[in-house]
């Protein structure tokens, strides 16, 4: 089974999460393509799609939003899951964080099967006025590979065809 993982990332943290998601799917035996959301021209040829976006001020990365809107018709007919990255603390592994309003609206539009929020990453040398100010007190990496693997394992179970009786 082929899975497309597309992501919107400004500083590379969400791109890194997309790679973690891809690795976890490969460990589950899936074929995986990973691409920046802005580079995806079609989702055809994939049996499932994962779209990830970084959160900035409770807004999902615009490339991820655009991909979902541009391919909404195709995504409605394909198992689709979304992920967000952003919290600069342990909150993402301590409990489920619901999707922000805009992501929930996209999920409703395409009938997405699920969503998860993963911890984010902010490097000490982050560029930009707001990011550099935040980095002085909140630099760190809260992306949790085990959280990613657990989420992917659940999706893999949903996507695999049931075993034939007597097999």
- Backbone φ and ψ for 48, nearest 5 degrees, come out as -150, 155
pLDDT of residue 164: 43
In the chain, the N- to C-terminal Cα span, in Å, equals 20
pLDDT of residue 129: 57
Whole-number Å distance between alpha carbons of 21 and 9: 14
Domain ranges for the chain, please list them.
2-159
pTM for this prediction: 0.90
38-58: b or e for each residue (b if 16 or more CB lie within 10 Å)?
Answer: eebeebeebebbbbbbbbeee
* Residue stretches of the chain with pLDDT short of 70: 122-127, 129-137, 139-140, 142, 163-167
pLDDT of residue 135: 55
2-159 placed in CATH 3.40.50.360: yes
User: In 28-79, where does DSSP find H-type helix?
Assistant: 62-70, 72-76
Alpha-carbon 126 to chain mean position: 22
């Amino acid at each position: 089974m082929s899975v497309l993982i597309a992501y919107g990332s400004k500083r590379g943290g969400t791109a890194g999460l997309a790679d973690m998601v891809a690795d976890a799917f490969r460990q589950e035996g899936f074929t995986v393509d990973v691409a920046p959301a802005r580079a995806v021209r079609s989702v055809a040829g994939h049996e499932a799609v994962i779209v990830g976006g970084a959160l900035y001020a409770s807004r999902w990365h615009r490339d991820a939003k655009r991909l979902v809107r541009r391919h909404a018709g195709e995504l409605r007919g394909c198992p689709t899951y979304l992920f967000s990255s952003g919290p600069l603390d342990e909150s993402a592994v301590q409990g489920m964080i619901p999707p922000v309003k805009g992501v929930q609206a996209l999920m409703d539009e395409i009938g997405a099967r699920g969503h998860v929020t993963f911890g984010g990453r902010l490097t000490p040398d982050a560029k930009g006025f707001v990011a550099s100010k935040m980095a002085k007190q909140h630099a760190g990496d809260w992306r949790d590979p085990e959280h990613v693997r657990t989420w992917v394992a659940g999706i893999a179970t949903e996507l695999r065809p049931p075993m034939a009786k007597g097999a």
